[in-house]
Homo-oligomer: A and B are copies of this chain.
Amino acid sequence: MRVPEHRLRRLATALLDQRGAPAAAAWLQADLLIEAELRGLPSHGLMRLPRLLARIDAGLADPAAKGRHRWRSAGVLQVDGQRALGPVALMAALEALTTRLGTTGIAMAALRDTNHLGMLAYYVEEAAARGMIGIVLSTSEALVHPQGGTQALLGTNPVAIGIPTGAAPFVLDLATSQVPMGRIHAHALRGEPIPEGWAVDAAGQPTQDAEAAKSGALAPFGGAKGYGLGLAFELIVALLAGSELAPQVRGTLDASHPATKGDLLILIDPGAVSGVIGGAARLTAYLDLLRASRPACPDTPVAIPGDGARRRKAAAQRDGIDIPEPLLDELRGLCSRGLSPRKTNGGEEEWSISARSGRRER
């Protein structure tokens, strides 16, 4: 069903608020989840919220924590995450690094003991919107097999890159696996086979059976090259953040372990180097040249990373976010269950959510 963005935002914020999240933290975490929904990335949207709330309830996520900062050198910030919400810790690190860029031109934060960052595009787009190049790396549980291997020993190790261009920022966000594990689960749920080359089963045999793939391993994207990049990211993050390597990572997919993955944020001030007038505008002209270039399929223009997300977001802001009714029911149920009600600013929309939530509670 389609639900207006603002209603889902209020619902998510209220759920976090009920669990003691400071207003700014609740707003930020909810905003991240809603942004993922708006951009058509439901795997990183509200379906993550029940588990996150369970992690707060279990003491595995502390919505009031921001991470303890320690500058190891002028440009390098070490963040002991203190079980903070991922976006809270990451944005606090981003703010801290920003203060150093005027001096160092490039700065990096390495984070451990924070919860799931969610959609990485969120952070690098924010960096680019502020005129900086932003790069985020993050690690995960072991889900990906090495090229030429068959066992899940690497994380999905995503990377996101944001670049100011003069027009809308360039935003790239990708996992180094061929597909996300969520896509395998979605196929299994629908009883559909998966395409060749996506995964192997638990015995290491290539499989098109989504159910069998769930207990197997995902292929790295792009063969040996994608494997090499994912592995390099795995090593860099673990080395710099002091976080676990994939086989020992827990806590981004469960509600029973502390999060032991690591995250890295690098910011670069482009003004610090180029000194080229109109440098960013030049990038825009180049990207437009790519968009206007001869496509492989006549009716499918060449796209720039981020174009599709912007289009989907505009549509979802107009037509509402398409959210599965069971998930909405679950969230509404969580909203009125168990916890003592907290004072809110009231207003028709919140009342409306509470009323529905009451009706639908199971």
User: Which A residues contact B (CB, under 8 angstroms)?
Assistant: 72-76, 78, 101-108, 110, 133, 146-151, 153-154, 159, 161, 163, 165, 170, 172, 174, 176, 200, 204, 221-226, 228-229, 231-232, 235-236, 238-242, 245, 247, 266, 268-270, 272-276, 279-280, 282-283, 286, 289-290, 293-297, 300-305
**16 A-B interface contacts by CB (under 8 A):** A72-B275, A73-B106, A76-B268, A78-B275, A108-B268, A147-B303, A148-B297, A148-B302, A150-B295, A161-B229, A172-B228, A222-B223, A222-B226, A235-B283, A239-B283, A240-B274
Closest to A279 in B: B239
Evaluate contact between B232 and A172: CB separation under 8 angstroms.
yes
> Whole-angstrom distance between the alpha carbons of A237 and B307 in the complex?
21
B residues less than 8 Å from A300 (CB atoms)? 148
Q: Contacts A150-B293, A221-B226 known; list 7 others, CB within 8 Å.
A: A72-B105, A106-B106, A159-B229, A163-B236, A172-B232, A204-B296, A242-B274
Q: Contacts A161-B236, A240-B274, A276-B242 known; A103 to B172 CB distance under 8 Å? A: no
Specify which of B104, B235, B274, B297 is in contact with A170 (CB 8 Å cutoff). B235
> Whole-angstrom distance between the alpha carbons of A239 and B284 in the complex?
11
B residues less than 8 Å from A104 (CB atoms)? 73-76, 104, 106
> Whole-angstrom distance between the alpha carbons of A244 and B78 in the complex?
36
Specify which of B110, B149, B293 is in contact with A290 (CB 8 Å cutoff). B149
Q: Contacts A242-B273, A273-B110 known; A231 to B305 CB distance under 8 Å? A: yes
